[in-house]
């Protein structure tokens, strides 16, 4: 039976699109049960709606405004997702750090995609950070990883798959960004298919 995915996004959703396309082409034995965005204007919501995938807009701001706070948000987000009965939660450009109030509900079932190699450049500016490190001659390549999210550390956890991405002397930040996104689209599908097939040989 196809695995049920809940995909969490905050923006463009090109990785969501890669999942939609891979499922359509039978390269990924899954169905997307729901796409959740914390931003109303996330283009990824349109991508989902175009192919009749249920969407949810679930913003943090009301929780901050009325004092309920981030942990209540995380607990309610988990509740929302449970209604869709997902096997895997895929953070594909999701810009919130999830606390244990969310993660405990989906132990070892939350995966994150990050545009850097394991242990390098955590945070939202990973591609730019790598580009600048290359210019300072500190690194020769960067990469992409897919990892499990066991706790509140940022962009860290058991690595399911990672792939190096070269940086060339003539690169602009835009060229490097495009190259990384191309690799992300492949690696996310590959890593998910491995998990769905029951591969649990990821590195701790
Ligand atoms: C990707 O680079 C992902 O690794 C990072 O956010 C970006 C999302 O891109 N966490 P998109 O919304 O899937 O196009």
Between CA 154 and CA 159 the distance in angstroms is 13
Ligand 1 centroid to residue 13 C-alpha, Å? 7
Q: Strands 141-148, 110-114: parallel, antiparallel or unpaired by DSSP? A: antiparallel
Global pTM reads 0.96
Ligand 1 centroid to residue 93 C-alpha, Å? 4
Between CA 149 and CA 52 the distance in angstroms is 28
**pLDDT tens-digit map of 26-74:** 999 999 999 999 999 999 999 999 999 999 999 999 999 999 999 999 9
**pLDDT tens-digit map of 106-124:** 999 999 999 999 999 999 9
Residue nearest to atom 2 of ligand 1 (CA): 115
């Amino acid at each position: 039976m196809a695995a049920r995915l809940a995909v969490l996004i905050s923006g463009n959703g090109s990785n969501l699109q890669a999942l939609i396309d891979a499922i359509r082409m039978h390269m990924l034995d899954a169905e997307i049960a729901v796409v959740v965005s914390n931003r109303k204007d996330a283009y990824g919501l349109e991508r989902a709606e175009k192919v009749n995938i249920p969407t949810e807009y679930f913003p943090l701001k009301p929780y901050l405004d009325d004092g309920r706070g981030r942990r209540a948000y995380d607990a309610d987000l988990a509740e929302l997702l449970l209604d869709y009965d997902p096997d895997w939660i895929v953070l594909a450009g999701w810009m919130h750090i999830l606390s244990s109030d969310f993660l405990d509900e989906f132990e070892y079932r939350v995966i994150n995609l990050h545009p850097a190699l394991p242990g390098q450049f955590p945070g939202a500016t990973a591609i730019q950070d790598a580009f600048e490190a290359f210019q300072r001659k500190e690194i020769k390549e960067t990469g992409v990883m897919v990892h499990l999210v066991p706790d509140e550390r940022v962009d860290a956890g058991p690595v399911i798959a990672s792939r190096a991405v070269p940086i060339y002397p003539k690169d602009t930040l835009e060229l490097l960004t495009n190259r990384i996104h191309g690799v992300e689209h492949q690696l996310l599908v590959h890593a998910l298919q491995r998990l769905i097939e029951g591969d649990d040989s990821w590195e701790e």
